[in-house]
Every structure is written in structure tokens, then in C-alpha cells.
Amino acid sequence: MAKGNDRRRRAEIAGAGIGGLTVAAALSARGWDVTVHERAPDLRTFGAGIYIWSNGLRVLKALGAYDEATADAHVGPLFETRDHDNKIMEEIPINRPGNARLITILRETLTRSLINVCRAGGVEIRTASEAVGAAPDGTLLLADGTQRPADLVVGADGINSAVRDSLDLLMYRKHLGYGAIRMLIPRADGDVASADRDKYIEHFSGSRRILYTPASATELYVALCCASDDEAAMAVPADRELWTDSFPHLASLVARFDDSGRWDAFEVVKLKRWSKGRAAVLGDGAHAMPPYLGQGGGCALMNGIGLAAAVADAPDIPAALEAWEARERPLTEHTQEQSERQGDMNYWPDALRSQVLTITGRSRELAMQRLKTALHVPTGTAEAI
């Protein structure tokens, strides 16, 4: 549609996750009519926490979702990495003057804040509405046979994206041989030493990890990470005796694990292109990455608002989508590649890992490089943190 036409542009979006809701809210704020299709019967999300760095927080402010999303956020003083003997290998100070900003919140809180912004902006959100494909002319195809023509279709329908696959955009999808059981449990005194209670701490032991993450004043997000062939460790409910044997200093915490949780395998997805005609893909369907840098959500937020800005008044939407990809993809794939590289240390011997991370933890220059990667900033750039 040419610029200057009085008809309001329309977007059809598959998926009511972080990416889909972000682009929906941003397009609505720019005068578009937007419908979001969610295949689930309701808008509840899996109970877990999520890390949001400075880049994602800026997007939430721009969307008007910041206050609600961060109302009960946890703001920790340090991110630490510890070895099998509970010794600190590396620590990154955060949330102080001159430091990077990192908060943790419940994923459901983030999603709810985006839903509320969408609804306030007039976005229609349809549940039990499953997208099964899209056409380059801007038509979204639904499971009930309905075809939804639009100026723009966005596939934000997850790692198994039907929109992506119908457009033949997948270059490769790689399983990394590693994953995590994620769970939420109530916070309690005695889980860790009192001095560590508010920190974010990643514990290593052999090829296993435990991520300790306060996600709110009352909720603790725990990720139990292991290799995909470590059948005993990946079992749900978690084997408390096994995890205690690997992390005896966390025995009090492990004893409180309940029978909830879900195993998720870590994967990397890369596409030939992020769009075809008037149809685009974002989020895990376009650039899934392991969670080692805590930037999966941040990338979805940034790419979602970037997509909306690119097409908002563009006279040529396919060309605008190509320009959006040219701007966003290099940085997103840099983050994806660095995150994948962080997984290499999963299989290092404990002694080697302790030695290497202790050295990097003592080096200001190396620590800044690792922090820039987490902040979605390419190493070597002059951009300030």
C-alpha cells in the first residue's frame, strides 16, 4: 500500500509470546490494526523467570510496559559463576552507577504487561487460533481453513514455527546436546548463605549446572542444566539425591525442589532470510539460541520493535523488511554465536574451567568483553555499556 493512502494498515501475527506481543504493541502505537493469534486456549505462560538486560528494558519503556513489567522485579547486585567447590570463579557487578542494568522477573509478569499494552492500544488477541502457514502476499493461514489477508504477516510462533516452515525459510536447526529443567519455587531463607541470597549465581559441577535466580520478592527461578544424554539428571521430577550429590553445598535448596518443572533442549536456529514478501519471522523461530547470556527475550524485544519501526510508514513493505533484517541480523547472530560459544565450557574438566574463568574474572578487559556480549553489543565496538 502506498504511503499517504488513508486506509489503516493491517497486521496478522502468529504467536502471543514476547516477540509477537512486542511487534503488535509497537505497530498498534503506529496506527496499524493488529490481530494476534495464539494457538493455546488461554494466554498463560509456563512458570519460569526471565533475565532482562538494559537493551530489553529500553524496549519496555518505549512500549509503555516498563512500570508493570518491573513492579515486582528482582534487582540483584552481582552475577557470579562458581565452581564445584562453591568457589567464585567470576563475578560481574550490576545495577550500580556505571554498571550494566539487569533485572529478573517472572515470565508471566512480562507477558501480562505486554498483553495489557496491546489491549489498551486496540490489538485484538484471539486464543485457540492456530496459524498453520503464511503466503508471501501477506496472508495468514489458520488451522480452521480461514485465510487472513493483511499488509504484513509476522510469524512469532516459536521454535517450531509453522509460518517459517511454510515459507521455506529455514537454513538449519541444530540441537546442542544440552538443556535444562526449569522450575519456580517459593524463596526461603537457608537456600544459600545469607550474603548470597539476592545474587544471581551459576554453579558448575562436571557437565551439570544449577542456575540460582531470584525472580521476584517471593519466587525463585531455578534451572537444572545437563547434557541431553544425561538421562538421570534430565528426568522430571528432578532427582533430588542426584543433584545433591553433584552440588552438596546446595543441599538445602535441592531438598525443596517440588515435582514441577519442564525439560527444554537448547537449540540454535538460522534462516536463509527473515522474510519473504510481506511475511516475516522473529523470535525463536528465526534465531533461537541457548540461554547462557540471558538474551533470547532481549533479542525478541529489540527485533520486534525494530520491525514495527521499519514498516510503519514504508511505501514498500518487502523492501522495508529486507532493510530491517540487514540492520538487526548481524547483531542478533553475534549474540547467538557468543551464547552458543559459552556452552563449550559445559564439557571442560572442573579444574580447567575453574582456571580459565578465574583468569577471565580477574581481567577487567576480558570481563568487559563478556559483559558487552551479554548486553547485545559486539566486542570491539565503542558503544558504551
pLDDT over threshold 90, residue 52 = yes
Burial of 383 (0-12, 13-18, 19+ CB in 10 A): exposed
- Which helix (H) or strand (E) element contains residue 135? strand 131-135
Task: List, in sequence order, every residue forming a beta bridge with 201; answer none if it has no partner.
Answer: 80, 212
CA 170 remoteness from chain centre: 20
Does the bond joining 237 to the residue before it have cis omega, within 30 degrees of 0? Answer: yes
* CA 49/CA 212 separation, integer angstroms: 11
Strands 33-37 and 10-14: parallel
Place of cell 493491517: 10
Contact 24, 36 (CB under 8 A): yes
Query: Which residues are within 8 A (CB) of 341 and not within 5 positions of it... i.e. 6 or more apart?
Result: none
* CA 240/CA 348 separation, integer angstroms: 24
Residue-wise pLDDT tens digits, 287-324: 999 999 999 999 999 999 999 999 999 999 999 999 99
Q: Which cell goes with 100?
A: 550494566
**pLDDT band at residue 360, thresholds of 50, 70 and 90?**
confident
Residue-wise pLDDT tens digits, 5-39: 567 999 999 999 999 999 999 999 999 999 999 99
* CA 154/CA 282 separation, integer angstroms: 7
Residue-wise pLDDT tens digits, 55-77: 999 999 999 999 999 999 999 99
Contact 189, 257 (CB under 8 A): no
Could you give the 3-state DSSP secondary structure of residue 83? coil
CATH topology of domain 10-46+107-174+267-344: FAD/NAD(P)-binding domain (3.50.50)
**pLDDT band at residue 98, thresholds of 50, 70 and 90?**
confident
Residue-wise pLDDT tens digits, 145-157: 999 999 999 999 9
Q: What is the mean pLDDT of residues 205-215?
A: 97
* CA 250/CA 236 separation, integer angstroms: 19
Q: Where are the domains of the chain?
A: 10-46+107-174+267-344
Q: Between these two residues, 281 and 91, which has the higher pLDDT value? A: 281
* CA 89/CA 76 separation, integer angstroms: 18
On the CB side of 27, CA atoms within 13 Å amount to 30
* CA 70/CA 349 separation, integer angstroms: 38
What type of residue sits at position 318? P
Q: What angle do CA 71, 221, 92 make, to 5 degrees?
A: 80
From first CA to last CA, the distance across the chain in angstroms is 40
